[in-house]
Amino acid sequence: MQISGKIKRKYSNVILIAIVVPLILTVLYITQTSHAAGPCDIPIIYVLDQGSNTVSVINSTTNKVVATVPVGVHAMQISKQGNCGGNNNIYVANQGSNTVSVIDPTANKVVANIPVGVHPVGVINDDNGQIYVANQGSNTVSVINDTTYKVIQTLPVGITPTIIAVNPNGGLVYVINQGSNTVSVINSTTNKVDATVPVGVHPVGMVSLSDGSSIYVANQGSNTVSVINSTTNKVDATVPVGVHPIDITKLEPARPHGGAKPASEMIPSATFILDVFEKLSQQEYDQFTNALTPSEKDELINNPTAQNLDTFLNKITPDNLDKFLNKITPTELKDISTTLTSDEFTTLLNKLSPDEQAKVTAKIQSVSP
């Protein structure tokens, strides 16, 4: 059985529908969150109801609204990374009340209304516990701590910031400035603007390649797409397209290992674990990884570093660890022993009985140097 069938995300991340008509703006945002335990046991759909200043919560099993959550005035965007794990809050940018509403998905209640800049229209959360809000009226981006619900920084950007996105590789946040025909590049570690990239006239949409290498920006006023190199923060190409491009998306070739990067792009020290998973049955894979959270599974597959490998092996139960180590080859076992530090590997062995430890040691020693 191919691993892509085992570890691909069970649910899609975000579906976004936007209809823009001159002088009339109707926006419908639907966010789907894949749930793992408690309130995360089924997909829940969140619908932003702009006209009634509410969020409708739909149970995907019954296809019925189970809650209606009041938010701020003239809500413009809803943001959530689509998988449970860590902070599962839903964030809503309220243009009319200059706030961001924080919805607790367990209680389906607003737990905070955070004052931000003037006319917030875009909101997104990264993997580092920070929320980024594009404030169209004050030409700023508010950075919110997702634990304290406080604005920790306000960054000046270009004129009329509207659309905001996070680089899939992390570390960078992109903001479209429609009024100044630029894209601001924010370093999410320092929370400073690293670069301001000139693009075409009236940029209205952007999409990143899955490896984060290039950002494509649709320019409605100049009928072009600007291709930004995420390493140099410069436009590598300007592509002429049709009249008034209004949005942009992508379709990429399927990658092995449930969407992971090719092995050549990965840290090589732990990529062998992907080949180990390939040989497991669906039942075995679920059994050995059931102690991991969804985000930890994603990290292990998409970024198989020694640290993520150690997390996996530390969380596996002693019984499952014994079964797992018996499934793999002596060479793969030696790869584990050399990838982990000596202390990490000793901790791993200490989960086993003395007899099992002796078997593992003999298995490793059977491999030629």
pTM summary value: 0.63
- pLDDT at residue 75 in the model: 92
Which range (4-18, 61-75, 222-236) has the least confidence?
Answer: 4-18
Q: 18-32, 73-87, 171-185, 275-289: which range is least confident on average?
A: 18-32
**Residue 13 clears pLDDT 50, i.e. is over it:** no
Coil, helix or strand for 107? coil
User: Could you tell me the domains of the chain?
Assistant: 1-156 (2.130.10.10), 159-252 (2.40.128.630), 258-365 (no CATH)
- What is the C-alpha to C-alpha distance for residues 238 and 222, in angstroms, rounded to an integer? 10
Q: In the predicted model, is pLDDT for residue 118 greater than 90? A: yes
CA dihedral for 296, 4, 282, 330, sign (positive or negative): negative
The DSSP H or E segment spanning 307 is: helix 306-315
By the 10 Å C-beta count (0-12 exposed, 13-18 middle, 19+ buried), 4 is classed as middle
pLDDT in tens, 97-106: 999 999 998 8
CB 57 within 8 A of CB 46: yes
268 vs 155: which has the higher pLDDT: 155
In angstroms, how far is CA 64 from the centroid of its own chain? 27
pLDDT in tens, 163-199: 999 887 778 999 999 999 999 999 998 999 999 999 9
Distance between alpha carbon 348 and the CA centroid of its chain, in Å? 30
Mean pLDDT of the chain: 81
